[in-house]
């Protein structure tokens, strides 16, 4: 960990906080320290912005989609994922776990310095002190978010208090330290402590309230609901999910608004999105744009998609074409075979293009594309629909099948734009399966599926992934058969990256790697 959390402000990374060099221009080499570089609320904001930016790494949603049953090999695939995620090959040296680990811990290194300096910076005025306090609250929320990410991907069991999560980054970690992993319980304790402190600050803070692209009060409450759900503490998860639903002022999107949420980021205020990570046109780059995690240029049939929507997921979506999620996920430029099981050239004749991020209603001139100063999407980190889904989990855990159905039905009514018949669950396994299935549709390609199967798969009675045989046998990728990733596989906990082990040889590796 010392490799990732220590060589920051006294090294070169301070220079990426902002294009403005006011932080560094008056200091000679070797003199730049936190105490002289972060002395005002503006400096704090710049450093926190760097933390926000690091959290926009797209690896988690892309890895999740390809490793599970959301995505499959695309017709413009140049080898991406074919010998790795698609066939469940994952090692300590693999790119995905390394990027997920590093992006969160790199961000934490900056976030912890914001928290640390918030205690010592002298405010220029009472209003400036309120702003400093707000920045501290934002940093605390982001620290909780990053720790929950690490726990979810690297802990073998999110519900086991004694299982190992990651390294607890509750402070600035020194260059001479080599900390070990700590337990889920330690992580959950820090997460809720940080969120409670942030909520206390924001309850009385008089600075302008954080925007939807800043860590805000509703996001803090929603994170508490998410964390309690991951832990399996459903009474507390329900308290916080209910709070967000009742008091956030954020409503489920209509079908038209839902398209705006994912294609153009211009949905009305207080609709659907609780928190997103902002991307600007100036940041447009193929290596970092969200949509370029699945295609080389743009999310259309001519945009060089190397991953496509998995056939199994498409078949579910296509069964209800009036559900807005079908059109939001699958591009209108897709080439859809009516007899795909019998196609001699399945890869070329059945092209199910993903355009959830930056798509378009008709044609192929998508909102998102890879070009200088072109639009590229924000990352939707939390939406109000997730709170309804957590509510449904809580009702399933309480054997209240009707209550679970009611929460699911609220989402379906919004997505269809009309009243839908509520689902009927005959037993608790069916209720859990209903929740997992709805999460699959609602949260597709947003980075949830890996974690959802890991924590809910057994409860839902599934045996593994739901991949269409054509997406492995039909593509001559037999290793992609879901039988090769049972629910009891050690691979549902990602390996601690080899680069971390090289820097910190005592750190504990997950079993199986």
pLDDT in tens, 203-239: 999 999 899 999 999 999 999 999 999 999 999 999 9
Q: Which fold would CATH assign to domain 38-279+379-481?
A: 1.25.40
For 235-255, b/e burial (b = at least 16 CB within 10 A) is: ebbbebbbbbbeebebebbbb
Please tell me the distance from the alpha carbon of residue 64 to that of residue 52, in angstroms, as a whole number: 21
Tokens 């609250």 belong to 137
pLDDT of 499: 95
pLDDT band at 33 (very low <50, low <70, confident <90, very high): low
pLDDT band at 175 (very low <50, low <70, confident <90, very high): confident
Residues 6+ apart with CB under 8 A from 166: 101, 105, 147, 150, 151, 154, 155, 181, 182, 187
pLDDT at 194 > cutoff 50:
yes
Residue range 155-184: mean pLDDT, rounded: 95
pLDDT of 26: 33
pLDDT of 176: 85
pLDDT band at 127 (very low <50, low <70, confident <90, very high): very high
Mean pLDDT of the chain: 93
Please tell me the distance from the alpha carbon of residue 156 to that of residue 510, in angstroms, as a whole number: 8
pLDDT of 357: 98
Q: Give the N- to C-terminal CA distance of the chain in Å, as an integer.
A: 19
Residue range 385-397: mean pLDDT, rounded: 98
pLDDT band at 36 (very low <50, low <70, confident <90, very high): low
pLDDT band at 37 (very low <50, low <70, confident <90, very high): confident
Please tell me the distance from the alpha carbon of residue 144 to that of residue 164, in angstroms, as a whole number: 17
CB 453 within 8 A of CB 493: no
Alpha-carbon distances of 434 from 258, 400, 404, rounded to whole Å:
22, 13, 9
Please tell me the distance from the alpha carbon of residue 140 to that of residue 48, in angstroms, as a whole number: 11
Please tell me the distance from the alpha carbon of residue 505 to that of residue 228, in angstroms, as a whole number: 32
Tokens 């609780």 belong to 274
Q: In the chain, helix, strand, coil percent, each to 5?
A: 50, 5, 45
Please tell me the distance from the alpha carbon of residue 144 to that of residue 192, in angstroms, as a whole number: 7
CB 255 within 8 A of CB 415: yes
pLDDT in tens, 440-499: 999 999 999 999 999 999 999 999 999 999 999 999 999 999 999 999 999 999 999 999
pLDDT at 326 > cutoff 90:
yes
Alpha-carbon distances of 281 from 78, 214, 295, 354, 366, rounded to whole Å:
27, 18, 18, 21, 15
pLDDT at 29 > cutoff 60:
no
Please tell me the distance from the alpha carbon of residue 510 to that of residue 491, in angstroms, as a whole number: 9
Q: Which of 434, 441, 424 is nearest to 310 (CA)?
A: 441
Task: State percent of the chain over pLDDT 90.
Answer: 91
Residue range 315-323: mean pLDDT, rounded: 98
User: C-alpha dihedral over 202, 206, 207, 212, to 10 degrees?
Assistant: 50
4 SS3 class = helix
pLDDT band at 17 (very low <50, low <70, confident <90, very high): very low
pLDDT of 4: 38
CB 294 within 8 A of CB 306: yes
pLDDT of 9: 37
Residue range 301-317: mean pLDDT, rounded: 98
Residue range 33-46: mean pLDDT, rounded: 85
pLDDT in tens, 421-442: 999 999 999 999 999 999 999 9
Residue range 327-336: mean pLDDT, rounded: 98
Ordered by start, the domain boundaries in the chain are: 38-279+379-481
Element (H, E) at 60: helix 59-67
> Residue 296 CA to chain centroid, in angstroms?
21
Tokens 């599926």 belong to 449
Residue range 147-165: mean pLDDT, rounded: 98
Please tell me the distance from the alpha carbon of residue 394 to that of residue 435, in angstroms, as a whole number: 10
pLDDT of 11: 33
Residues 6+ apart with CB under 8 A from 297: 286, 303, 304, 369, 370
């Amino acid at each position: 960990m010392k490799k990732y959390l220590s060589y920051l402000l006294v090294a070169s990374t301070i220079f990426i906080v902002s294009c403005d060099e006011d932080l560094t221009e008056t200091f000679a080499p070797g003199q730049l320290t936190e105490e002289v570089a972060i002395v005002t609320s503006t400096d704090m904001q710049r450093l926190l912005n760097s933390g926000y930016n690091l959290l926009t790494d797209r690896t988690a949603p892309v890895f999740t989609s390809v490793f599970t049953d959301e995505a499959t090999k695309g017709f413009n695939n140049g080898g991406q994922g074919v010998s790795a995620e698609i066939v469940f090959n994952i090692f300590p040296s693999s790119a995905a776990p390394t990027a997920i680990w590093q992006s969160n811990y790199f961000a934490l290194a900056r976030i912890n310095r914001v928290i640390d300096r918030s205690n010592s910076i002298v405010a220029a005025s009472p209003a400036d002190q309120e702003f400093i306090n707000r920045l501290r609250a934002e940093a605390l929320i982001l620290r909780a978010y990053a720790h929950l990410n690490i726990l979810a991907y690297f802990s073998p069991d999110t519900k086991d208090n004694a299982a190992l999560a990651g390294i607890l980054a509750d402070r600035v970690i020194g260059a001479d330290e080599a900390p070990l992993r700590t337990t889920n319980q330690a992580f959950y304790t820090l997460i809720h402590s940080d969120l409670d402190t942030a909520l206390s600050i924001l309850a009385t803070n008089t600075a302008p309230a954080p925007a939807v692209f800043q860590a805000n009060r509703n996001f803090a409450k929603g994170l508490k609901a998410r964390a309690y759900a991951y832990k399996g503490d459903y009474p507390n998860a329900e308290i916080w999910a209910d709070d967000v639903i009742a008091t956030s002022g954020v409503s489920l999107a209509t079908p038209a608004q839902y398209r705006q949420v994912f294609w153009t980021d211009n949905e009305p205020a207080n609709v659907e999105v609780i928190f997103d990570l902002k991307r600007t046109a100036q940041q447009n780059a193929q290596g970092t744009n969200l949509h370029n995690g699945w295609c080389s240029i743009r999310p259309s049939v001519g945009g060089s998609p190397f991953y496509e929507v998995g056939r199994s997921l498409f078949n579910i979506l296509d069964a209800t074409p009036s559900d807005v999620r079908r059109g939001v996920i699958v591009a209108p430029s897709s080439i859809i075979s009516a007899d795909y099981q019998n196609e001699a050239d399945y890869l070329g004749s059945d092209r199910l293009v993903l355009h959830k991020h930056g798509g378009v209603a008709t044609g192929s001139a998508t909102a998102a594309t890879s070009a200088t100063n072109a639009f590229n999407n924000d990352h939707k980190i939390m939406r109000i629909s997730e709170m309804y889904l957590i509510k449904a989990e809580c009702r399933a855990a309480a054997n209240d099948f009707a209550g679970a159905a009611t929460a699911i039905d609220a989402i379906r009514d919004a997505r269809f734009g009309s009243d839908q018949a509520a689902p009927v669950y005959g037993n608790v396994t069916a209720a859990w399966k209903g929740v997992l299935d709805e999460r699959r549709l609602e949260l597709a390609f947003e980075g949830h599926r890996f974690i959802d199967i890991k924590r809910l798969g057994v409860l839902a009675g599934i045996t593994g992934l739901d991949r269409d045989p054509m997406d492995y046998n039909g593509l001559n990728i037999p290793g992609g058969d879901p039988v090769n990733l049972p629910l009891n596989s050690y691979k549902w906990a990602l390996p601690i990256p080899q680069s971390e082990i090289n820097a910190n040889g005592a750190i504990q590796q997950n079993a199986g790697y």
